[in-house]
Structure 1
Amino acid sequence: MRERLLAAEKVVSIRWRDGCLHLLDQRLLPLKQVWLRYDSSADVATAIRDMVVRGAPVIGIAAAFAVVLAARARLAQGADWRGALAADCQQLAAARPTAVNLFWALKRMAACLAAHDDAQALAALEQEALAILDSDREANLAMASLGAELIRKDNSQPQNIYTHCNAGALATGGFGTALGVIRAAHADGLVERVFVNETRPWLQGSRLTAWELLEEGVPTRLNVDSAAAFVMREHEVRWVIVGADRIANNGDVVNKIGTYQLAVTAMHHGARFMVVAPSSTIDMDSECGDDVEIEERSAEELLSFAGQRITVDMPTYNPSFDITPADLIDAIVTEKGVVERPDEEKMQALMCRKRLH
């Protein structure tokens, strides 16, 4: 399976070349594929905030390389460069408050920095960022195999699958989380069709997920978010598969707004609900989903479309994420293994495991 998945890999969203970070501008996809070059931490923070790069795992990876850029600039300035670097890391942390992978990566880079003297620091930080990227790629492959096997055990016949937002190669350093599982399941002949939510207001489903799946020949249908219940009833959806931006200690999942209502709808229609995310997405310091700060984005995302105002000025409520309670989740798939019907005890046991691959 590993070799088949690697051979099928077509989409890449992040590159580290010649000491600079290169990001595929996801705001322009799928109509334009434009790579942007970054050589400053502040600019990467802006790219994260403005969603040039999006998806919890790849946000963490981008932040790790941004620390390398910041360290290089601060070392050149000389005195108290570590203090100045800490301020750069705070700026990165503030870019998107909900996705825990961002904070996980910054914490890992801080630990690396603390372990090395000034002469070794820059090289060590670069190697650590590359290790974070490589680790995510390997985690994606492991999760793809584990998730596909879970689908096969449930039903070995081709089946309809539903997904939301984008948890594919564009959102990770490798093959994707939720879409990685879907790709692996398709390679094993387990997919009849994938239904993709548009995912308002940024349309990550129609712009990104549908494009990724079509690029790899996966049978795909796009629908508006509000069609979810009808699609599940009319097309006998067997699995809803999504990613996650943060998973709490008790198994509650924070993901793109709209995930919670999909989980409720799936339970009513007898579809199983799978969350696919690396263990770096699990935040054991958050007892439950209610402990997580939910990012609320600009009103302009609802009042305008493609730069064109579509309604009158009015108050808006535009949370970027919602919280899906653990009791609505059938399985959480990580590179450390699968947790079915998650709860606090099972999540803690999972985090004590070593990686399976």
Structure 2
Amino acid sequence: MVSPSPLVNLPATLTWANDQLRILDQTRLPQEAVVETLTSAHEVWRAIHELRVRGAPAIGVAAAYGLCVAVQASRHLPLDAFRAALAEQAAYLDSARPTAVNLSWSLKRMLRAAECAGATDTASLYHTLVDEAQAIHREDQRLCAGIGQHGAPLIREGSGVLTHCNAGALATTGIGTATAPIYEAQRNGVAFRVYADETRPLLQGARLTAYELQRAGVDVTLVTDSMAASLMARGQIDVVIVGTDRVAANGDFANKIGTLNLAIVARYFGVDFYVACPSSTLDLDTPDGRGIVIEERGASEVTHLGGRMIAPEGIKVFNPAFDVTPHDLVTGYITEAGIIGSPYEANLAARFGRAA
């Protein structure tokens, strides 16, 4: 059994019950909370690709359950044919988005569980897959809680915290990654304030982070992406905490576009810059940030706002969804096992090499 999120004021990012996967459609927040039931591999693929379920940890959990959904129509097949369908559907789901490592990590873990199961019939192998997906779900909640525990001391009485995009409860199935220290500090009675970047072009900070922090009773102020430097110049930011979609072996990491700007500005103003990173988001097989594939998305995300054209017709658009921040701009990685400092290549490998 998977425990619900402790943030009772927020709808669940996703749920699994009676062999059905339900997700909260995050493209409709904050105006309306719509829960959808995904009944096929194509529906799961589209939900991930279209950002209806998003955030690296949540994508990983959704993919695990999504693989169970994808093979439900094959449960009548002989065991060998079912295994072939399983591999095919995993490869299909893995193509939904390229940057967040949790997607491929989760699917590979599901396939390994199937290989090691020793199942003698299709029904028992399917149940093994569901059990593994639920284990991934529970683990995500534990990782978030650990990040909160270790990151909370970074937020002191009167601190100003800046975060970017949404690495919150909505991006996970727990209390978030970058928001986990925020929620833990709030639980500890610390008085502080959070500034949430709007995060153009899809406004995940405005639509999601501001929404969930406000509902949780956190003192949160929404700012545009271009205001971060001014806030730091005024001394209003004491620490930056962001999430990540993939961390390379040397500590370079990919996160939502605009993160690199923040890291550079934080270094200039001497503000600590931390990355909340569950071990499931480590990619120690990729040596450095140059090997991280950056997803590029459609022009309409930049040329339109709220369905209305805001740019000249026919204008050329460059729209990478992520950027890569060099490891030497990072103060530390907040993980479920503690805060990892430099040298990152040695320290990440020493702590997580076997698990990652």
Tell me the TM-score normalized by structure 1. Answer: 0.93
SS at match of 2:64: helix
1:106 and 2:115 correspond: no
Q: CA deviation at 1:158?
A: 2.0
Is the 1:144–1:177 contact (alpha carbons within 8 Å) kept by the matching residues of 2?
Answer: yes
1:123 and 2:127 correspond: yes
* Closer, same or farther: CA 56–225 of 1 in aligned 2, 3 Å: same
Alignment-derived partner of residue 30 in structure 2: 30
Is the 1:164–1:205 contact (alpha carbons within 8 Å) kept by the matching residues of 2?
Answer: yes
Tell me the TM-score normalized by structure 2. Answer: 0.93
Question: What's the CA shift string for 1:227-249, capped at 9, x where partnerless?
Answer: 11001112431100011000010
Q: CA deviation at 1:94?
A: 0.6
Is the 1:336–1:354 contact (alpha carbons within 8 Å) kept by the matching residues of 2?
Answer: no
> CA separation in 2, counterparts of 1:190 and 1:321?
32
C-alpha root-mean-square deviation of aligned residues, in Å?
A: 1.8
Q: How does 1:62-211 map to 2 (within 5 A)?
A: 62-78=62-78, 80-116=81-117, 117=119, 118-119=121-122, 120-149=124-153, 151=154, 156-211=156-211
Alignment-derived partner of residue 58 in structure 1: 58
Q: CA deviation at 1:187?
A: 2.6
Is the 1:11–1:169 contact (alpha carbons within 8 Å) kept by the matching residues of 2?
Answer: no
Which blocks of at least 5 consecutive residues in structure 2 are unaligned?
A: none
Mean Cα displacement is larger for which, 46-55 or 118-127?
Answer: 118-127
Q: CA deviation at 1:352?
A: 4.5
Counterpart residue type for residue 127 of structure 1 = D
Question: What's the CA shift string for 1:59-98, capped at 9, x where partnerless?
Answer: 0100000111122212235572322222211111110000
Is the 2:9–2:215 contact (alpha carbons within 8 Å) kept by the matching residues of 1?
Answer: no
> Percent identity, aligned pairs only?
41
Q: CA deviation at 1:353?
A: 7.9
SS at match of 1:226: helix
Alignment-derived partner of residue 346 in structure 1: 347
Question: What's the CA shift string for 1:3-56, capped at 9, x where partnerless?
Answer: xx9376744211002211000000000110000001212210110000100000
Q: How does 1:307-346 map to 2 (within 5 A)?
A: 307-312=307-312, 313-346=314-347
SS at match of 2:250: coil
> CA separation in 2, counterparts of 1:8 and 1:353?
35
SS at match of 1:58: helix
Question: What's the CA shift string for 1:192-238, capped at 9, x where partnerless?
Answer: 21111000011000000001110111111111101110011124311
> CA separation in 1, counterparts of 2:27 and 2:8?
24
Q: CA deviation at 1:157?
A: 2.8
Q: CA deviation at 1:186?
A: 2.4
Alignment-derived partner of residue 248 in structure 2: 248
Question: What's the CA shift string for 1:290-318, capped at 9, x where partnerless?
Answer: 10100000011111122222222211110
SS at match of 1:236: coil
> CA separation in 2, counterparts of 1:331 and 1:191?
23
Q: CA deviation at 1:340?
A: 1.7
Is the 1:299–1:316 contact (alpha carbons within 8 Å) kept by the matching residues of 2?
Answer: yes
* Closer, same or farther: CA 6–33 of 1 in aligned 2, 3 Å: closer
Which blocks of at least 5 consecutive residues in structure 1 are unaligned?
A: none
Question: What's the CA shift string for 1:254-274, capped at 9, x where partnerless?
Answer: 100000110111111111011
Task: Give the count of matched residue pairs.
Answer: 347
> CA separation in 1, counterparts of 2:285 and 2:355?
19
Q: CA deviation at 1:115?
A: 1.8
Counterpart residue type for residue 351 of structure 1 = F
Counterpart residue type for residue 135 of structure 1 = E
> CA separation in 2, counterparts of 1:307 and 1:341?
44
SS at match of 1:80: helix
* Closer, same or farther: CA 106–132 of 1 in aligned 2, 3 Å: same
Q: CA deviation at 1:162?
A: 0.2
Q: CA deviation at 1:347?
A: 1.1
SS at match of 2:179: helix
SS at match of 1:6: coil
Counterpart residue type for residue 183 of structure 2 = R
Is the 2:7–2:175 contact (alpha carbons within 8 Å) kept by the matching residues of 1?
Answer: no
> CA separation in 2, counterparts of 1:342 and 1:251?
8
Q: CA deviation at 1:339?
A: 0.4
> CA separation in 2, counterparts of 1:46 and 1:273?
34
> CA separation in 2, counterparts of 1:248 and 1:9?
35
> CA separation in 2, counterparts of 1:34 and 1:9?
15
Counterpart residue type for residue 327 of structure 1 = D
Alignment-derived partner of residue 297 in structure 2: 297
